[in-house]
Amino acid sequence: MTYPDQLAGKELIYCKDDFFLMNRACDELYQQFSSITGVDIHKLGDGDILLPSGKAISPSGAAHCLLEMKRTAIFLRGIKKAIDSKLQEGNSTVNILYAGCGPYATLITPLLSFYTPVQVRVTLLDINPVSVEAVEKLYRTLGIDVFAEMFVLSDASIYKVDRQYDIVISETMQAGLKKEPQVAIMQNLIPQCGVDTIFIPEQITIDAYLRKRGIWDGDQLLEEGGKTTFISELFSVNKERLDVSTYRKVVDIPQTLIGPHDLLLYTTIKVFNEEVLGLNDCSLNMPLKYYELGDRFPRSIDFWYSQTDKPKIESKVLDYTT
């Protein structure tokens, strides 16, 4: 049994916020995984699959996610804590379903060196045949296919679960829950699982903020005098909140604004317990600008999640200041 680069896996778990070590570990894993599978990051949009529930990104796009170092590190840390919690509860084996695993199964593969094949069993599922073939080759080449219960080619948003899982992982999203089928996958898989099943990520929250624009300092290459203020939570997605009809909120804009502002939506991802990805930690947490507010600005704005083949948060101004 070869295992993925064990030092890289340990660095991602234990390096805290040492971004040099974090970046080095992700680069080392990428070099190892891409050389084995033949899937690299050079064809990011080649192989996207458009589904009724959203876009399944290409194998290269999924491979690129590994290189978002903090995203990879925080998810790995949260998933390791989830596995450890199940073992501490007395589970002799932790059964995991990884839906949308991509070509590397990035969020579980580096963790396998911490466990035995008796302790952890993984079902690896993806809708892209290139990704399924790649991850199967990766596991067999590394000799870690003993951890794999099955390699499954399927759409996670309609997949029928035929066994009980202790942990389900699906990170199939972008900032603002746009384009990809994260919500649809959660709606499909969570009701099929037991009440004690841990779903990763545990919660995704969308919040509205107002940002007062500062003054750009060309010498310092930064904005001075800006200020960001929390306005309201729009909605959260978790095991208890899967009804998209509740993903709606009317946001009232303070009528005391002075100067130009932007209305932004922030995406916060609670992976497991205290492992959280917040503002600007990775591409999933980039703020999305919805409105520029000038002299005449909205009094209130209605936001809602539109669940179509192109999921996104939509909005409508209800009334304006006079």
CB 189 within 8 A of CB 199: yes
Q: Provide the pLDDT confidence category of residue 223 given band limits of 50, 70 and 90.
A: low
Residues 6+ apart with CB under 8 A from 318: 250, 298, 299, 300, 301, 302
Q: Provide the pLDDT confidence category of residue 295 given band limits of 50, 70 and 90.
A: confident
| Domains present along the chain, CATH in parentheses | 6-203 (3.40.50.150), 204-320 (no CATH)
Amino acid identity, position 33: F
Closest CA to 59 of 112, 135, 124: 135
The number of residues making up the chain comes to 322
Q: At 22, is the secondary structure helix, strand, or coil?
A: helix
Residues 6+ apart with CB under 8 A from 274: none
The string of pLDDT tens digits covering residues 141-171 is 999 999 999 999 999 999 999 999 999 999 9
Closest CA to 3 of 98, 94, 138, 126: 138
What phi, psi does 219 have (nearest 5°)?
Answer: -70, -45
Q: Measured between alpha carbons, how far is 189 from 191 in angstroms, rounded to an integer?
A: 6
What is the pLDDT, as a whole number, of residue 255?
80
Q: What is the mean pLDDT of the chain?
A: 93
Amino acid identity, position 197: T
Q: CB-based burial of residue 234 (10 Å sphere; 0-12 exposed, 13-18 middle, 19+ buried)?
A: buried
pLDDT of 226 over the 80 cut: no
Q: What is the DSSP string of 57-107?
A: PPHHHHHHHTT-HHHHHHHHHHHHHHHHHHHHTT-SSEEEEEET-TTTTTT
Predicted structure pTM score:
0.94
What is the pLDDT, as a whole number, of residue 222?
53
pLDDT of 227 over the 60 cut: yes
